[in-house]
């Protein structure tokens, strides 16, 4: 039975004190919550339309979370803002984890909407049908800066359709990091794969094994493919025919198995992309193949071993000294992008003045058009020489690595869609791991890979994307 | 003396429960230690992982809070937490509003009809989100909800409602029809019968639904990741792996902190709920 | 709601009959090719096997654990609030984040599990259990690097995560046992373990079935745990249907095939459901 106090409104229509209290509290609560939330209202209605009313266009970019946090801060906070003001475009950059780029891309294709500019860290050849060709801006930049590097060319051009499906922006050379003192004690310098194989047991006994991963992750992928090139093997030939089943492949598989048996531990089968970093920085590994993120982290943390850590080109094999880029920064523009003009403008302008990007990324990002840094490799060498971290002058070798020892995934052919799939599904590290763990002989593994690759090549050939 | 005897009587309980509790909570203790460790302490294989080094008992000298402040200062972590709370709260509301009546209706509907609908509801879970996210992406874009929290608020009920309905169906089934009929005979309206009889008894079920729905929302990853790309709009599940794993550098200590911070209040909240309805029915029943 | 659920569901079915690639939403009709091709792939068959093992093993652990824990946690003992809090923690943490935590716990070099095993001199025993040679204090077991250990690791993490879920449901089930039954049991002289076995557990059955059923559904469809811990590796040995579908459909770009693979979960779970419902009907009658 409701009692008199429950009545909200007195018979004469006036509010009771109780009611005022109740409504007032509710009101105050609402205002606090939603007033405060109004600022954060944009999560509900989407990103707020920009405050600067004079910027008329909008450009949305998606790229990876750079390992150098300062680079992203500079890019998002300074570079794109300045570019935006100059070109009357509001630029918004979103970052995602590099491992999740393919799913984000798939979702944008499925939804027919998303970002205008999308960056991949490996050639997005499989997406060719969903993007617009960028031959025009490639020509424009080539006219101003000369030809792009071979790595970039082979990673963004499809010779079958004669289209540039992507705009190569940057690539990252992949040196080896090694602890000079440990190798000195082992009496040898890691200049060739054979030297590493010979020194591996001694290093392992000293508690400092080499760290050559054989897991389904980025570092292992690049490392093992590079190993194949050094031994004269490759996944395909110039004509995009599968070429994995060769004596050279068997040779490379044997070498890796040997290094594992005598000089490495089981950890190399359980690595993430960060594991070799962590193990090296903990003082355990004597050698790792990785982009300069290891050295830079050592410097940031002020570790003593930074003075003892040198970088060098990929070890030489019996046939050549050649490695892959660690990652390849390629942008593409969706067919359904809303602001294609601004996107193209952005790409061209970014590449034309790449010096700042090179510096802000701490020498990680090398420009696809070398002359984008005025003076090309000579200037790059001069800049790296100015790095004050000990040992002095060590980053100079990066320029040589970039110039002479870096090639694209899919060497000697193009980085086509089939190679892209083999890369994304880590078939090469799998092959090596199975041989190292004695689950297959090298010959069997090469044959099995051959069969697998042929299926994949056929699938993409049927799509019309490959010669 | 009495408390000692009570303690001893509980001994078998302790003996069984302890190992479970240890195994379940051990990773969190681990996270608690890790998040305060200096890099030099964490990345040293010779150090004892369970405590701080090198000065173990004077841990305040070996520990640091910089990794924790990193996530609050350098990332959008607080925003992510807020977004997660908003999404969770609203989805719980929607779920309750839909699944409670639905569960009640289905519980009272006897025979094939109820069973059939039950099974249809169940089929929803059989296609995994790793595939559904593509067409749902399309749907979300068509509705112009891409990159907003509403996209999640709209889609999450699709997997919280079926489960909640099933659960409540089970609860409502245990309330004998006779009780309600008795109330009706006594002159109560159906609505009043619901309020006075059914609701109090099903409170445990409703609270359970709240807990599970909220958890499902907080845990969800694929949709949260693909529907929303702006950092300020992300939930904690998608924002943390994105910003704290940069290329090949894992910010382990910050990752641990980021996991622990929502886990503890949520566990406290759930525990409070759990406590409430255990008290509700134990009242002397278990000794 | 029907739109949100129905449309994607039927689209997924449509996709599985096409050869769609690269995230596009359509392709050429290929009939049942995708389904038959899947069976010929060794990786797929292994994924099916793994899904079954993974689901059954983790659910078995969860069922036993939850049955035991739920009955104990409703009792009155000192510190019960804290213990309950600890038990709930794994469920409260977002799965993506807690699994990353487990990545560090199983790390190839810094694993705290291996450190503990080393201190307790149990490394040899563990290695022997898993049949890994060359394993020892210097070459610690790689929880995420060896096929059988990786599968165990994934099962452990999943069981760890789902256990609190099951415990809460079981406790909720206990709540619904009418007090008259309880009093009747007492009058009949049933206490302690006898009561548990003959009275409480059978009455918990209906709710327990809900817990197990959904536990199975959530586990069989589990993506995050396997993907984050092993990505299905080493060499696809821990792939389960959802991760394999993702690998094929998204990473390899064969969307039609990916759709077909994930639809294979349907018959699997349908069989389980029917079985459980039949069981439930029998239990309810009594």
> Class for domain A57-172+327-385, per CATH?
alpha beta
Q: Respond yes or no on whether the N-terminal peptide bond of residue A412 is cis (omega within 30° of 0).
A: yes
**Other C-beta atoms lying within 10 Å of the C-beta of residue A348:** 17
Per-residue pLDDT at B87 exceeds 80: yes
**Interaxial angle between packed helices C265-285 and B112-123, expressed in degrees from 0 to 180 and rounded to the nearest 10:** 140
Q: Is A216 close to C235, i.e. CB distance below 8 A?
A: yes
Nearest residue to B218 (alpha-carbon basis) of C223, C94, C160: C94
Q: Does the CB of A424 have a partner CB in chain C at under 8 Å?
A: yes
Q: Most B CBs within 10 Å: which of C175, C252, C269, as the mutation test of the B interface?
A: C175
Q: Is A67 close to B149, i.e. CB distance below 8 A?
A: no
Nearest beta carbon to residue C235 from set A109, A433, A456: A433
Q: Does the CB of B13 have a partner CB in chain A at under 8 Å?
A: no
ipTM of this predicted structure:
0.80
Q: How far apart are CA B170 and CA B118, in angstroms?
A: 11
The token pair that represents C9 in the structure block: 């569901």
How long a stretch of residues is chain C?
A: 286
Residue indicated by tokens 């591996």? A200
pLDDT number for residue B238: 87
Q: Which residues of chain A have pLDDT under 50?
A: 1-16, 19-51
Chain B residues within 8 A of C85 when measuring between CB atoms? 267-268, 271
- Each residue's pLDDT tens digit, B91-113: 999 999 988 888 887 777 655 66
Q: How far apart are CA B164 and CA B102, in angstroms?
A: 10
Q: Does the CB of C132 have a partner CB in chain A at under 8 Å?
A: yes
Q: Are the C-beta atoms of A270 and A246 separated by less than 8 Å?
A: no
Q: How far apart are CA A257 and CA A441, in angstroms?
A: 10
Q: Is A107 close to B86, i.e. CB distance below 8 A?
A: no
Q: Does the CB of B35 have a partner CB in chain A at under 8 Å?
A: no
Q: Which chains touch A (3 or more CB pairs under 8 A)?
A: B, C
- Each residue's pLDDT tens digit, B148-182: 899 899 889 888 888 888 778 777 776 777 777 77
Q: Are the C-beta atoms of A170 and A366 separated by less than 8 Å?
A: yes
Q: How far apart are CA A393 and CA A413, in angstroms?
A: 34
Q: Is B138 close to A110, i.e. CB distance below 8 A?
A: yes
Provide the pairing of β-strand A167-171 with A163-164.
unpaired
Assign residue C203 a region: left if phi > 0, alpha if psi is -120 to 50, beta otherwise? alpha
Provide the pairing of β-strand A176-179 with A157-158.
unpaired
Chain A residues within 8 A of C140 when measuring between CB atoms? 266-267
Q: Does the CB of A274 have a partner CB in chain B at under 8 Å?
A: yes
- Supply the pTM of this predicted model: 0.82
A57-172+327-385 matches A176-325+413-462 in fold: yes
Identify the three-state secondary structure at position C29: strand
Give the H or E element holding residue C92: helix C80-92
Q: Does the CB of C135 have a partner CB in chain A at under 8 Å?
A: yes
Between A and B, how many residue pairs show a Cβ–Cβ distance under 8 A? 114
Q: Does the CB of C253 have a partner CB in chain A at under 8 Å?
A: yes
Chain C residues within 8 A of B122 when measuring between CB atoms? 217, 273
Nearest residue to A436 (alpha-carbon basis) of A266, A201, A301, A318: A266
DSSP string, B226-238: HH--SGGG--HHH
Nearest beta carbon to residue B150 from set A44, A96, A100: A44
Q: Are the C-beta atoms of C242 and C52 separated by less than 8 Å?
A: no
Nearest beta carbon to residue B149 from set A44, A68, A272: A44
The token pair that represents B150 in the structure block: 């509403």
Measure A392 CA to nearest chain C CA, in Å. Answer: 31
Q: Is C65 close to B20, i.e. CB distance below 8 A?
A: yes
CATH 1.10.3720.10 fits C34-106+143-285, yes or no: yes
Q: Are the C-beta atoms of A423 and A339 separated by less than 8 Å?
A: no
Q: Are the C-beta atoms of A128 and A417 separated by less than 8 Å?
A: yes
Query: End-to-end CA distance of chain B, in Å?
Result: 19
Radius of gyration of chain C (CA): 22
Q: Is B21 close to C101, i.e. CB distance below 8 A?
A: no
More confident residue, B284 or C151: C151
pLDDT number for residue B56: 58
How remote is the C-alpha of C166 from its chain's centroid? 12
pLDDT number for residue A399: 92
The CA distances from residue A357 to A63, A142, A353, B130, C197, in Å, are 14, 19, 8, 36, 70
**Other C-beta atoms lying within 10 Å of the C-beta of residue A462:** 11
Chain A residues within 8 A of C236 when measuring between CB atoms? 430
**Domain extent listing, chain A:** 57-172+327-385, 176-325+413-462
Q: Are the C-beta atoms of C105 and C111 separated by less than 8 Å?
A: yes
pLDDT number for residue A32: 40
Q: Are the C-beta atoms of A61 and A115 separated by less than 8 Å?
A: yes
Q: Are the C-beta atoms of B117 and A74 separated by less than 8 Å?
A: no
More confident residue, B191 or A366: A366
Q: Is C24 close to A270, i.e. CB distance below 8 A?
A: no
pLDDT number for residue C196: 65
pLDDT number for residue B88: 93
φ/ψ (deg, to 5) at A287 = -155, 145
Measure B147 CA to nearest chain C CA, in Å. Answer: 17
Structural domains in chain B, CATH included, are 2-64 (no CATH), 71-282 (1.10.3720.10)
Q: Respond yes or no on whether the N-terminal peptide bond of residue C234 is cis (omega within 30° of 0).
A: yes
Mean pLDDT of the residues in chain B: 79
Residue in B closest to A68 by C-alpha: B246
3-state per-residue secondary structure call for chain A: CCCHHHCCECCCCCECHHHHHHHHHHHHHHHHHHHHHHHCCHHHHCCCCCCCCCCCEEEEEEEECCCCHHHHHHHHHHHHHHHHHHHCEEEEEEEECHHHHHHHHHHHHHHCCCCCEEEECCCCHHHHHHECCCHHHHHHHHHHHCCCCHHHHHHHEECCCCEECCEEEEECCCCEEEEHHHHHHHCCCCCEHHHHHHHHHHHHHCCCCEECCCCCCHHHHHHHHHHHHHCCCCCECCCCCECCCCHHHHHHHHHHHHHHHHHCCHHHHCCCCCHHHHHHHCCCCCEEECCCHHHHHHHHHCCHHHHHEEEECCCECCCCCCEECCCEEEEEEECCCCCHHHHHHHHHHHHHCCHHHHHHCCCCCEECCHHHCCCHHHHHHHHHHCCCCCCCCCCHHHHHHHHHCEECCCCCCCCCHHHHHHHHCCHHHHHHHHHHCCCCCHHHHHHHHHHHHHHHHHHHHHCCCCC
Measure A207 CA to nearest chain C CA, in Å. Answer: 9
Number of alpha helices (DSSP H) and beta strands (DSSP E) in chain C:
15, 0
- Each residue's pLDDT tens digit, B44-65: 777 777 777 666 566 666 677 8
Listed in sequence order, the residues at least 6 apart from A292 whose beta carbon sits closer than 8 Å to its beta carbon are A175, A311, A362, A363, A364, A395, A398
3-state per-residue secondary structure call for A278-324: HHHHCCCCCEEECCCHHHHHHHHHCCHHHHHEEEECCCECCCCCCEE
Nearest beta carbon to residue B25 from set C76, C89, C223: C89
Measure A49 CA to nearest chain C CA, in Å. Answer: 28
Q: Most B CBs within 10 Å: which of C2, C8, C12, C283, as the mutation test of the B interface?
A: C8
Q: Which residues of chain C have pLDDT under 70?
A: 1-5, 21-27, 137, 175-182, 185-186, 189-202, 206, 279-286
Q: How far apart are CA B190 and CA C200, in angstroms?
A: 32
Chain A residues within 8 A of B246 when measuring between CB atoms? 65-69
Q: Is B248 close to A96, i.e. CB distance below 8 A?
A: no
The CA distances from residue A126 to A97, A110, A133, A240, C48, in Å, are 20, 15, 13, 15, 28
Architecture of the domain delimited by A176-325+413-462: 3-Layer(aba) Sandwich (3.40)
Measure C266 CA to nearest chain A CA, in Å. Answer: 23
Chain A residues within 8 A of B140 when measuring between CB atoms? 111
CA-based max dimension of chain B:
76
Q: How far apart are CA B179 and CA B181, in angstroms?
A: 5
pLDDT number for residue A370: 92
Nearest beta carbon to residue B249 from set A67, A218, A219: A67
């Amino acid at each position: 039975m409701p009692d008199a106090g429950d009545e909200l409104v007195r018979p004469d229509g006036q509010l009771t004190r109780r009611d005022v209290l109740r409504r007032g509290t509710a009101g105050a609560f609402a205002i606090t919550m939603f007033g405060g939330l109004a600022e954060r209202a944009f999560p509900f209605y989407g990103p707020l339309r920009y405050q600067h009313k004079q910027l008329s266009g909008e450009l949305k970019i998606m790229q990876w979370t750079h390992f150098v946090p300062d680079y992203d801060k500079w890019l998002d906070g300074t570079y794109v803002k300045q570019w935006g003001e100059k070109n009357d475009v509001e630029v918004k950059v979103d970052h995602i984890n590099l491992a999740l780029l393919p799913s984000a891309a798939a979702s944008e294709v499925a939804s027919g909407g998303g970002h205008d500019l999308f960056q991949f860290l490996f050639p997005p050849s499989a997406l060719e049908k969903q993007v617009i060709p960028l031959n025009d801006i490639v020509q424009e930049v080539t006219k101003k800066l000369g030809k792009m590097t071979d790595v970039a060319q082979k990673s963004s051009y499809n010779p079958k359709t004669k289209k540039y499906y992507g705009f190569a922006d940057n690539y990252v050379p992949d040196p080896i990091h090694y602890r000079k003192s440990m190798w000195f004690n082992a009496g040898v310098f890691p200049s060739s794969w054979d030297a590493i194989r010979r020194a591996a047991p001694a290093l392992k006994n000293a508690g400092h094994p080499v760290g050559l991963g054989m897991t389904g992750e980025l570092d292992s992928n690049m490392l093992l493919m590079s190993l194949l090139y050094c031994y004269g093997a490759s996944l395909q030939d110039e004509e995009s025919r599968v070429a994995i089943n060769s004596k050279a492949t068997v040779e490379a598989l044997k070498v890796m198995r040997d290094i594992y048996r005598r000089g490495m531990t089981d950890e190399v089968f359980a690595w993430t992309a960060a594991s070799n970093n962590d193990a090296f920085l903990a003082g355990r590994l004597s050698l790792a193949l990785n982009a300069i993120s290891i050295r830079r982290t050592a410097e940031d943390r002020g570790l003593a071993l930074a003075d003892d850590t040198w970088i060098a080109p990929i070890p030489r094999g019996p046939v050549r000294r050649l490695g892959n880029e660690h990652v390849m920064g390629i942008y593409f523009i969706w067919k359904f992008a809303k602001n294609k003009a601004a996107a193209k403008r952005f790409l061209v302008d970014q590449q034309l003045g790449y010096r700042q990007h090179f510096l802000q990324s701490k020498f990680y990002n090398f420009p696809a058009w070398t002359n984008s840094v005025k003076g090309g490799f000579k200037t790059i060498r001069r800049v790296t020489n100015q790095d004050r971290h000990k040992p002095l002058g060590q980053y100079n070798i990066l320029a040589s690595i970039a110039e002479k020892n870096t090639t694209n995934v899919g060497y000697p052919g193009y980085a086509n869609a089939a190679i892209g799939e083999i890369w994304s599904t880590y078939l090469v590290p799998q092959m090596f791991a199975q041989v190292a763990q004695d689950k297959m002989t090298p010959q069997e593994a090469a044959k099995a890979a051959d069969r697998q690759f042929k299926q994949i090549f056929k699938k993409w050939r049927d799509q019309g994307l490959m010669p | 003396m009495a408390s000692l005897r009570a303690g001893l009587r509980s001994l078998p309980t302790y003996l069984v429960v302890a190992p479970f509790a240890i195994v379940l909570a051990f990773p969190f203790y681990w996270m608690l230690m890790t998040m305060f460790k200096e890099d030099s302490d964490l990345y040293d294989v010779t150090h004892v992982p369970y405590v701080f080094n090198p000065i173990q008992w004077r841990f305040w000298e070996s520990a640091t809070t910089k990794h924790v402040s990193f996530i609050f200062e350098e990332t959008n972590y607080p925003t992510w937490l807020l977004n997660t709370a908003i999404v969770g709260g609203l989805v719980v509301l929607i779920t309750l509003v839909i699944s409670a009546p639905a569960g009640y209706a289905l519980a009272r509907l006897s025979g094939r009809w109820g069973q059939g609908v039950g099974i249809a509801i169940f089929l929803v879970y059989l296609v995994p989100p790793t595939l559904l996210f593509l067409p749902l992406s399309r749907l979300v874009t068509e509705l112009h909800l891409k990159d907003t929290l509403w996209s999640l608020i709209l889609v999450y009920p699709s997997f919280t409602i079926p489960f909640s309905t099933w659960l409540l169906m089970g609860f409502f089934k245990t309330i004998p029809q006779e009780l309600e009929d008795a109330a009706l005979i006594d002159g109560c309206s159906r609505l009043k019968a619901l309020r006075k009889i059914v609701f109090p008894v099903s409170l445990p079920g409703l609270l359970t639904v709240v807990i599970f729905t909220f958890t499902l929302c907080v845990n969800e990853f694929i949709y949260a990741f693909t529907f929303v790309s702006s950092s300020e709009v992300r939930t904690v599940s998608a924002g943390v792996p994105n910003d704290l794993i940069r290329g090949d550098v894992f910010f382990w200590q910050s990752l641990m902190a980021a996991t622990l911070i929502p886990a503890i209040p949520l566990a406290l909240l759930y525990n409070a709920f759990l406590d409430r309805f255990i008290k509700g029915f134990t009242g002397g029943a278990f000794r | 709601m029907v739109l949100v659920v129905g449309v994607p569901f039927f689209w997924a079915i449509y996709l599985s009959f096409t050869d769609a690639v690269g995230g596009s939403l359509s392709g050429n009709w290929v009939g049942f090719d995708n389904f038959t091709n899947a069976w010929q792939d060794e990786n797929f068959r292994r994924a099916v096997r793994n899904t079954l093992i993974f689901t059954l093993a983790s659910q078995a652990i969860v069922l036993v654990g939850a049955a035991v824990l739920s009955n104990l946690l409703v009792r009155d003992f000192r510190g019960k609030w804290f213990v309950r809090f600890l038990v709930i923690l794994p469920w409260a943490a977002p799965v993506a984040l807690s699994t990353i935590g487990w990545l560090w716990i199983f790390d190839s070099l810094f694993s705290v599990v291996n450190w503990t095993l080393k201190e307790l001199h149990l490394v040899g025993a563990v290695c022997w259990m898993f049949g890994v040679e060359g394993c020892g204090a210097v070459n610690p077991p790689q929880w995420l690097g060896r096929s059988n250990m990786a599968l165990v690791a994934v099962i452990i993490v999943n069981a760890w995560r789902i256990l609190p879920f099951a415990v809460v449901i079981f406790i909720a089930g206990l709540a619904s046992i009418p007090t008259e039954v309880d009093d009747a049991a007492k009058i009949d002289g049933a206490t302690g373990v006898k009561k548990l076995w003959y009275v409480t557990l059978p009455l918990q059955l209906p709710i327990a079935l809900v817990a197990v059923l959904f536990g199975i559904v959530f586990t069989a469809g589990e993506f995050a745990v396997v993907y984050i811990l092993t990505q299905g590796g080493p060499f696809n040995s821990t792939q389960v249907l959802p991760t394999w579908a993702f690998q094929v459909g998204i990473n390899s770009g064969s969307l039609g095939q990916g759709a077909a693979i994930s639809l294979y979960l349907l018959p699997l779970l349908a069989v389980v459901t029917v079985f459980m419902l039949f069981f439930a009907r029998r239990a309810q009658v009594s």
